[in-house]
């Protein structure tokens, strides 16, 4: 592992990139670009993309005519499906190869540190598959409802789109988000520590309408949702939740679901762990008890220190994280105005308040929530400070509409031990050094 | 664990001479689908690397056992040194019964029984082999087309379904919206294969530990190991008893899973990885029985698991599962306004640092290994 020398080399590359962004775009390896973000401990972050003092002759990007100011660009048909600027090429999902045996049954992470607002772009929503991406032909997709119903039914996609629709923004968080941090600070970037979450606007149909169409019998207390992929993913869902706010969705952020998010149809289970949001949804079975499938017994159960294990831990608890500054988003300007920005969410409703500390939790200031505050959706918060250039220990602490306060990691360890894997909603600490680099740490 | 059953694996080792028909030209598009059975262990195409099996680029014409950096069995290296190379004929014979064609090689894939499947997958692999390009004018590997992001806008497609003409077609009599149609019994049977801890859903059938051992060795051991010990980061299926309170718990069927029904259901619906639904109901009973044996829950090699005796078997950890009681934890019970100032005495110290571990990926292929996993 030659990370130290590797990083030093990267620093000079990133300085080049700053002087000539086009050069960086010509062949930017991800290593280079991410390396620039991660360049820890070497102090070069401050030389990054900040406005440089004008030399006597003036800033060449002003005094010299730029190519884009002279030559014609592409016409309207050049990009029938528009993509981000090549200067944003580093804004991608990334995985942690050592976490899983094979990328077909694995996870990657949303680049939270590069995003703002509350909506996650479709191509950046983290992926978790248990048998790879099922490429389903919507003309051959069917949704079956059977079991304890008056009349077992089969729907085509066309049928489903004839029910009354609704649009709802919800976060989806994997139960294992932050799961690698139970034993202590491990991964250096909020993409990796917190990136198993996304928030999009779903268009779909209330699950209640579909169930009522088939007629749920009075002893139908549970629902088994099944996917059409090669893992035939299944989860048991209590009927009360199914009839409350669950949806079957066929659009995300206005366009068809992406294949990796379950095209053409997925279940939406607001506020509950992501594994239950069955993708490529093809079957709903009504029963009188839970099925105890693999993903609700051997996985997605929370082992406690005393050897007992909690099951059916569905709700995602109140949680927040500062997305910038963070290890992949160091401070690249000097002292003065600094925007501290982050995300907060709760599976039980809206976020009432987010507090931020810069001294590791001794003193807290209430942050400003900006943008829509929707139940079971991401909330964006900001704290605008005047940074004096000294070291910071940044944390955020969310409080949801029920008054539930985000706990510390140590409180969670005290209650559960370190082997729960799932449901780690503890407070995250970022250590900001005087040179602007940021590290994932824990504090006393 | 020294209970590996010496079964009649030797009995079937008659050397298979490839059937003369080095079969008709395969279809690479169909081969791409067949290859999904191989993809758990083998990569092919751009950026392919060695996985559990060697990468398969430029396979055609390659001498057996010669991919750089891959640890082959002695048998495979010997085959190559003996002059064996991969062509239509050798691949066809090998893929039909890998264990028989090169005895002692490590590929524990059971084989492709259908001639057409083998021809198709060979045709598919040829599209990644320069040596084969001249022979077969390589059609592009048929995958679903990526959404076009370049060049011209696609022609506006015709609506998939022309509006149905009949204004007065009869509406189904169910529900509020009268949408959907009745599911047939056969359709329900085709998809409803789940089973529950108390029995419902189990199909007719039976299988013994001894039968399961043969199946497991052929279809499961490549990832899970001969004794369920798990290769690389694939799931460990056996052992781990009395580790749940340990610093590093080993969560297996025997040590952790609450219900045997989950084993049957999961194997039936999703295993072997990359070849789901290929096992018969009897096969699944046999594999489940063998997993009980590997976990010391049954000890008799002649034990037969069936629909009839299934619910009489209980897993040791069943009683240790409890309902969600997070609300009762101290940090949630103690409601109230959180502290805003002077909340900690003295200055705050850093106690743990991610940089010390240095397991954050940087986009390269560094072989870092952190603690924990997502499974």
**For residue A153, which residues of chain B lie inside 8 Å, CB to CB?**
174-175, 180-183
Q: Does A439 touch chain B (CB under 8 A)?
A: yes
Do B101 and B87 form a contact (C-beta atoms < 8 A)?
no
pLDDT of residue B47: 80
**ipTM more than 0.90?**
no
pLDDT of residue B143: 45
Q: Which of A27, A216, A293, A329 to mutate to test the interface with B (most CBs of B within 10 A)?
A: A293
pLDDT of residue B146: 45
Residue A362 to residue B343, Cβ atoms within 8 A: yes
The DSSP bridge pattern shows strands A281-287 and B304-306 to be unpaired
Separation between Cα atoms, residue B62 and residue B72, nearest integer Å = 14
Residue B183 to residue A158, Cβ atoms within 8 A: no
pLDDT of residue A6: 35
Do A354 and A320 form a contact (C-beta atoms < 8 A)?
yes
The alpha-carbon gap from B180 to the nearest alpha carbon of chain A, in Å, equals 5
**pLDDT band at B165; cut points 50, 70, 90:** low
pLDDT of residue A45: 43
In terms of phi and psi (left: phi > 0; alpha: psi -120 to 50; beta: otherwise), the region of B135 is alpha
Residue B359 to residue A187, Cβ atoms within 8 A: yes
Q: Which of A35, A37, A78, A101 to mutate to test the interface with B (most CBs of B within 10 A)?
A: A101
Q: State the average pLDDT for chain B.
A: 83
pTM for this structure? 0.79
pLDDT of residue B41: 81
Cβ neighbours around B285 below 10 Å, total: 28
pLDDT tens track for B325-346: 999 999 999 878 999 999 999 8
Of B243 and B100, more confident: B243
The alpha-carbon gap from A69 to the nearest alpha carbon of chain B, in Å, equals 23
Residue A101 to residue B234, Cβ atoms within 8 A: yes
Q: How many CB pairs under 8 A join A and B?
A: 332
Residue B321 to residue A104, Cβ atoms within 8 A: no
Do A320 and A425 form a contact (C-beta atoms < 8 A)?
no
The alpha-carbon gap from A55 to the nearest alpha carbon of chain B, in Å, equals 35
pLDDT tens track for B38-88: 887 888 888 888 887 888 988 888 888 888 888 888 888 888 888 888 888
pLDDT of residue A22: 38
pLDDT of residue B149: 43
**Residue of B121, B129, B126 lying closest to B274 (CA atoms):** B121
Go through A71-106 and write b for each residue having 16 or more CB atoms within 10 A of its CB, e for each that does not.
Answer: eeeeeeeeeeeeeeeeeeebbbbbbbbbbbbbebbb
Do B293 and B321 form a contact (C-beta atoms < 8 A)?
no
For every one of its 444 residues, what pLDDT tens digit does chain A have, with 9 covering 90 and above?
Answer: 333 333 333 333 333 333 333 333 333 343 343 444 444 333 444 444 445 555 678 999 999 999 999 999 999 999 999 999 999 999 999 998 888 888 888 999 999 999 999 999 999 999 999 999 999 999 999 999 999 999 999 999 999 999 999 999 999 999 999 999 999 999 999 999 999 999 999 999 999 999 999 999 999 999 999 999 999 999 999 999 999 999 999 999 999 999 999 999 999 999 999 999 999 999 999 999 999 999 999 999 999 999 999 999 999 999 999 999 999 999 999 999 999 999 999 999 999 999 999 999 999 999 999 999 999 999 999 999 999 999 999 999 999 999 999 999 999 999 999 999 999 999 999 999 999 999 999 999
pLDDT tens track for B303-324: 999 999 999 999 999 999 999 9
Kindly state the average pLDDT of the residues B192-210: 98
Separation between Cα atoms, residue A215 and residue A196, nearest integer Å = 36
pLDDT of residue B132: 67
**pLDDT above 70 (res B16):** no
Residue A154 to residue B147, Cβ atoms within 8 A: no
**pLDDT band at B109; cut points 50, 70, 90:** confident
**For residue B220, which residues of chain A lie inside 8 Å, CB to CB?**
none
- Residues of chain A numbered 364-393 and touching chain B (CB < 8 Å): 364, 393
**For residue B258, which residues of chain A lie inside 8 Å, CB to CB?**
292, 297, 311
Q: Which of B153, B248, B265, B360 to mutate to test the interface with A (most CBs of A within 10 A)?
A: B360
Find the residue in B nearest to A36 (Cα). Answer: B362
Do A280 and A263 form a contact (C-beta atoms < 8 A)?
yes
Separation between Cα atoms, residue A50 and residue A33, nearest integer Å = 16
Separation between Cα atoms, residue A46 and residue A34, nearest integer Å = 16
**pLDDT band at B374; cut points 50, 70, 90:** low
How many Å is the Cα radius of gyration of chain A? 24
Report the residue from A155, A185, A314 with minimal CB separation from B352: A185
**For residue B249, which residues of chain A lie inside 8 Å, CB to CB?**
303, 419
Q: Which of A11, A30, A77, A80 to mutate to test the interface with B (most CBs of B within 10 A)?
A: A80
The alpha-carbon gap from B283 to the nearest alpha carbon of chain A, in Å, equals 18
- To 5 degrees, how large is the angle CA B145–CA B148–CA B151? 140
Report the residue from B194, B366, B369 with minimal CB separation from A234: B194
Q: Does A3 touch chain B (CB under 8 A)?
A: yes
Report the residue from A174, A307, A399 with minimal CB separation from B245: A307
SS3 at position A354: strand
Q: Which of B350, B358, B369 to mutate to test the interface with A (most CBs of A within 10 A)?
A: B350
Of B154 and A179, more confident: A179
- Within A118-227, where are the H helices? 157-160, 190-194, 207-214
The alpha-carbon gap from A18 to the nearest alpha carbon of chain B, in Å, equals 20
DSSP, res B192: -
The alpha-carbon gap from A419 to the nearest alpha carbon of chain B, in Å, equals 8
Q: Which of B267, B317, B363, B369 to mutate to test the interface with A (most CBs of A within 10 A)?
A: B363
pLDDT of residue B329: 97
Separation between Cα atoms, residue B311 and residue A5, nearest integer Å = 60
Residue B191 to residue A299, Cβ atoms within 8 A: no
pLDDT of residue A17: 38
**pLDDT above 80 (res B137):** no
Q: Does A5 touch chain B (CB under 8 A)?
A: no
Do A148 and A216 form a contact (C-beta atoms < 8 A)?
yes
Report the residue from B39, B321, B343 with minimal CB separation from A301: B321
The gap from C-alpha B323 to its chain's centroid, in whole angstroms, comes to 30
**Residue of B155, B157, B156, B148 lying closest to A83 (CA atoms):** B148
* Cross-strand bridge partners of residue A430: A394, A440
How many Cα atoms occupy the beta-carbon half-sphere of A1 within 13 Å? 12
pLDDT of residue A116: 98
**pLDDT band at B162; cut points 50, 70, 90:** low
**For residue B152, which residues of chain A lie inside 8 Å, CB to CB?**
77, 80
The alpha-carbon gap from A101 to the nearest alpha carbon of chain B, in Å, equals 4
């Amino acid at each position: 592992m030659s990370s130290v020398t590797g990083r030093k080399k990267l620093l000079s590359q990133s300085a080049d990139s700053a002087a000539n962004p086009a050069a960086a775009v010509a062949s930017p390896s991800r290593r280079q670009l991410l390396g620039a973000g991660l360049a820890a401990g070497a102090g070069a972050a401050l030389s990054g993309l900040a406005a440089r003092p004008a030399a006597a002759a003036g800033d060449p990007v002003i005094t010299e005519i730029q190519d884009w100011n002279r030559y014609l660009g592409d016409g309207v048909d050049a990009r029938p499906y528009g993509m981000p600027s090549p200067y944003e090429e580093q804004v991608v999902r990334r995985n942690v190869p050592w976490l899983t045996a094979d990328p077909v049954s694995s996870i990657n992470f949303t680049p939270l540190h590069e995003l703002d607002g509350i909506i996650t772009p479709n191509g950046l929503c983290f992926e978790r598959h248990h048998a790879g991406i099922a490429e389903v032909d919507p003309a051959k997709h069917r949704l079956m409802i059977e079991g304890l119903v008056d009349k077992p039914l089969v729907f085509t996609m066309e049928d489903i789109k004839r029910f009354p629709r609704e649009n709802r923004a919800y976060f989806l968080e994997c139960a294992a988000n932050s799961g690698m941090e139970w034993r202590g600070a491990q991964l250096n970037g909020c993409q990796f520590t917190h990136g198993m979450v996304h928030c999009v606007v779903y268009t779909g149909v209330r699950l209640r309408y579909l169930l009522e169409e088939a007629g749920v019998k009075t002893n139908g207390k549970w629902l088994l949702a099944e996917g059409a992929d090669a893992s035939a993913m299944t989860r048991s869902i209590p009927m009360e939740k199914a009839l409350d706010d669950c949806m079957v969705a066929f659009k995300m952020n206005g366009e068809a679901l992406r294949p990796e998010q379950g095209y053409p149809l997925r279940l939406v289970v607001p506020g509950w762990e992501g594994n239950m949001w069955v993708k490529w949804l093809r079957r709903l079975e009504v029963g009188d008890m839970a099925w105890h499938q693999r993903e609700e017994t051997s996985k997605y159960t929370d082992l406690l220190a005393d050897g007992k294990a909690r099951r059916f831990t569905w709700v995602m608890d109140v949680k927040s994280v500062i997305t910038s500054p963070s290890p992949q988003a160091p401070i690249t300007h000097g002292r003065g105005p600094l925007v501290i920005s982050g995300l907060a969410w709760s599976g039980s409703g809206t976020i009432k308040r987010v507090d931020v500390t810069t001294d590791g939790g001794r003193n807290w200031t209430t942050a400003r929530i900006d943008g829509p505050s929707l139940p079971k959706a991401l909330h964006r918060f900001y704290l605008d400070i005047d940074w004096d250039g000294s070291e910071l220990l940044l944390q955020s602490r969310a409080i949801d509409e029920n008054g539930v306060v985000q706990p510390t990691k140590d409180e969670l360890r005290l209650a559960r031990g370190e082997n729960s894997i799932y449901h780690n909603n503890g407070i995250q600490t970022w250590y900001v050094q005087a040179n602007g680099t940021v590290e994932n740490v824990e504090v006393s | 664990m020294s209970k590996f059953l010496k079964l009649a694996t030797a009995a079937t080792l008659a050397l298979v001479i490839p059937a003369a028909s080095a079969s008709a030209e395969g279809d690479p598009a169909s081969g791409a689908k067949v290859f999904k059975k191989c993809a758990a262990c083998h990569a092919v195409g751009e950026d392919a690397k060695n996985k559990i099996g060697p990468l398969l680029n430029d396979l055609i014409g390659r001498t057996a056992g010669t991919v750089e950096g891959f640890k082959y069995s002695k048998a495979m290296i010997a085959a190559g040194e003996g002059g064996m190379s991969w062509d239509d004929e050798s691949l066809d014979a090998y893929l039909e019964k890998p264990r028989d064609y090169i005895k002692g090689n490590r590929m524990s894939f059971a084989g492709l029984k259908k001639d057409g499947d083998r021809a198709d997958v060979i045709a598919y692999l040829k599209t990644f082999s320069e040596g084969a390009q001249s022979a077969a004018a390589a059609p592009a590997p048929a995958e679903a087309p990526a959404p076009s992001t370049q060049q011209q806008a696609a022609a506006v497609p015709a609506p998939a379904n022309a509006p149905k003409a009949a204004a007065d077609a009869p509406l189904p009599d169910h529900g509020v919206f009268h949408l959907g149609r009745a599911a047939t019994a056969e359709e329900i049977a085709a998809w409803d294969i789940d089973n529950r801890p108390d029995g419902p859903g189990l199909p007719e059938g039976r299988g013994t530990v001894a039968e399961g051992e043969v199946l497991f060795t052929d279809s499961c051991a490549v990832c899970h190991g001969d004794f369920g010990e798990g290769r690389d980061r694939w799931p460990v299926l056996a052992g781990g008893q009395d580790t749940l309170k340990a610093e590093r718990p080993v969560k297996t069927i025997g040590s952790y899973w609450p219900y045997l029904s989950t084993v049957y259901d999961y194997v039936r619906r999703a295993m072997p990885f990359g070849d789901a639904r290929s096992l018969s109901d009897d096969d699944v009973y046999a594999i489940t029985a063998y997993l009980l044996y590997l976990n010391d829950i049954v000890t008799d090699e002649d034990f037969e698991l069936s629909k009839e005796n299934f619910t009489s078997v209980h897993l040791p950890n069943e009683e240790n599962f409890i309902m969600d009681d997070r609300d009762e934890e101290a940090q949630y019970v103690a409601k109230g306004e959180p502290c805003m100032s002077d909340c900690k005495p003295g200055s705050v110290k850093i106690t743990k640092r991610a940089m010390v571990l240095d397991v954050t990926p940087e986009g390269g292929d560094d072989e870092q290994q952190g603690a924990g996993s997502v499974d």
